[in-house]
Amino acid sequence: MMNFLPWVIVLVLIIAFLTFCSFFNMVLWIRALISGAHVSVAELISMTVKKLDARSIVNIYIKARKAGVNITIAQIENHLQAHGNIELVINALIAAQSANLEELDLKTAIAVDLSGRDINDAVKHRIMPQIIQINNITAMAKNGIEVSVSVKVTVRVNLKRIIGGALEETIIARISEGIMTIIGNANTHNEILEAPNTITKTIMANKDLAADTAFDILSLDIVDMKVGRNIGAELEIDKAEAVKYISQADAEKRRAEAVAAEQEMRALTQEMRARVVAAESEVPRALAGALKYGNIDVKDYMKMENIQSDTLMRKALSGNADSDMLTPALNPPKKKTKLQ
């Protein structure tokens, strides 16, 4: 029994050592040591206690050290705990070193990644410039004709301004504004069509075009230019149509006023005629009263009748007689008098 005791102790020690290695990732420690990226046992134990993925951390650390990226285990842990993507950061730093981009350091790369931007994409477009297509920038020249321009803008990421710098939308807005201003200041659309390089020269001469953005503008190229509508003529047509409608409304108003005035005059005429008829109806009564009281004698009455008849006959012969005058209301009803 005593002969087996040493073997039991050795077996227990081996099992304890394997358990220790399995629990504290001692295999990773050995792997890091062999790879030339030393990781202490205390650091492995710390990862386990913090419930971090020790395997991913060690693999990233080995990758960084082999590529010459100066980073520590603590920095990797801090970035992971801040919910950053440390693998993207390391890949970006490796790409930057390969392209001799000295402006990108670890601190900047970590800050860009935590801001939500793709640091790998930024390094890619720093190495290989990006082309932004802006289509159909339309404005009107002073002669009222539209001109539509499409351009390609070649930009390169500026890693020093990437933190807090504006993105592509700002570049597009500034270039569109500049092109519309140039077209609007042209006296005719032909000035733009004859010298399209005026647009590129004027815009590229603006040193503040890329200010406060994450890009450097390398070139501006016009890819298409079209003549659009004649806005000036359309505005004149619309103005003429509006004047026509206003004139028609005024004419209709005057016509309505004339019709109303005519109706009013007709009503007034009817009223005056009624008054004349009423006055004429009083004449026979007045004559009868004059004869009755001796204010007029029969001879004068007959003379007045002869004058009226003569007047009516003359008007009838001249064609101007009124039908009402042919049967005048002045004739009193025949009454038998004492003389008859």
C-alpha gyration radius of the chain: 55
Residues 42 and 104 in one domain: yes
3-state secondary structure of 104: coil
Domain tally, the chain:
3
* Rounded (to 5) percent helix, strand, coil in the chain: 60, 10, 25
- In degrees and rounded to multiples of 5, residue 297 shows phi and psi of -100, 175
Does 83 reside within a domain?
yes
Q: Characterize the bridge pairing of strands 145-157 and 130-140.
A: antiparallel
Residues 46 and 141 in one domain: no
State if pTM tops 0.75.
Answer: no
Q: What is the CATH number of the domain that holds 192?
A: 3.30.479.30
Compute CA distances 229 → 149, 151, 232, whole Å: 14, 20, 9
Which residue numbers in the chain have pLDDT < 50?
1, 323, 325-340
The answer to whether residues 236 and 178 touch, using CB atoms and an 8 Å cutoff, is no
Structure tokens at 98: 């390969």
Does 272 reside within a domain?
no
Sheet strand arrangement including 145-157: 130-140, 145-157, 215-230
Report DSSP state, residue 296.
S
Closest CA to 92 of 115, 138, 71, 123: 123
The answer to whether residues 44 and 25 touch, using CB atoms and an 8 Å cutoff, is yes
Residues 155 and 108 in one domain: no
DSSP 147-182: EEEEEEEEEEE-TTS-TT-B-HHHHHHHHHHHHHHH
Does 257 reside within a domain?
no
Strand partners, 140: 146
Does 271 reside within a domain?
no
- For residue 195, the model assigns a pLDDT of 87
- For residue 340, the model assigns a pLDDT of 40
Report the run of H or E that residue 291 belongs to, with start and end: helix 231-292
Q: What domain range is 310 assigned to?
A: 297-340
Hunting for tokens 């790998």 — which residue is that? Answer: 120
Domain stops at, among 199, 230, 261:
230
